[in-house]
């Protein structure tokens, strides 16, 4: 039996321990904000927090999350009031929106570690979170705004 916390709620999992966390979150718990993108940990659409650190849920097996706290985009804030979410709105970051949950989760993890990131810090932390619409400049601006609001 695997026990974990998801968005502050204790959960138990008694299925295939090699199942990706992504499918547990989406298919079994209904947290569909976390997206499937590439299945290889390369695009960042599936990013969640594992004990506060950004991780790719498509590459994380259930056996690796025993005793771990997982936060999805739905658990970042109950009402969308996290500074990163508000900055995303202010800077009109999303176009198609598909990658945005992963982008926001990666940015929130960055700001939890570094409350005043430089452009280079942002580029390094966000590398690997692909936005097919190319809103990278707005992502950077939103992260800087969120950093000022923390």
Position 122 pLDDT exceeds 70: yes
Amino acid 15: pLDDT? 96
| Whether residue 93 sits in one domain with residue 127 | yes
What would the pLDDT profile of 52-63 be if each residue is shown by its tens digit? 999 999 999 999
What would the pLDDT profile of 34-84 be if each residue is shown by its tens digit? 999 999 999 999 999 999 999 999 999 999 999 999 999 999 999 999 999
Strand partners, 48: 55
User: At 120, which CATH number?
Assistant: 1.10.150.120
**Distant-in-sequence, close-in-space partners of 55: CB < 8 Å, separation ≥ 6:** 47, 48, 49
| Whether residue 67 sits in one domain with residue 33 | yes
Average pLDDT over residues 100-126: 97
| Whether residue 71 sits in one domain with residue 6 | yes
pTM over 0.85, yes/no: yes
Domain that residue 100 falls in: 83-149
Distance (Å, whole) CA 22 – CA 133: 23
Amino acid 150: pLDDT? 67
Residue whose token pair is 């390369």: 42
User: What is the count of structural domains for the chain?
Assistant: 2
Which of 76, 100, 123 corresponds to the end of one domain? 76
Q: 149 falls in which pLDDT band (50, 70, 90)?
A: confident
Average pLDDT, the chain: 96
What would the pLDDT profile of 4-18 be if each residue is shown by its tens digit? 999 999 999 999 999
Whether 31 contacts 7, CB under 8 Å: yes
């Amino acid at each position: 039996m695997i026990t974990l916390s998801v968005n502050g709620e204790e959960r138990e999992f008694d299925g295939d321990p090699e199942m990706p966390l992504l499918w547990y979150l989406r298919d079994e718990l209904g947290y569909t904000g976390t997206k499937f993108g590439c299945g290889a940990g390369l695009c960042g659409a599936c990013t969640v927090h594992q004990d506060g650190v950004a991780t790719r849920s498509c590459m994380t097996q259930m056996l690796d999350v025993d005793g771990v706290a997982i936060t999805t985009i739905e658990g970042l804030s109950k009402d969308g009031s996290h500074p990163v979410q508000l900055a995303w709105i202010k800077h009109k970051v999303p176009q198609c929106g598909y990658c945005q949950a992963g982008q926001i989760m990666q940015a929130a993890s960055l700001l939890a570690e570094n409350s005043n990131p430089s452009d280079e810090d942002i580029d390094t932390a966000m590398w690997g979170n692909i936005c097919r619409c190319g809103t990278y400049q707005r992502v950077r601006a939103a992260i800087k705004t969120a950093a000022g609001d923390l």
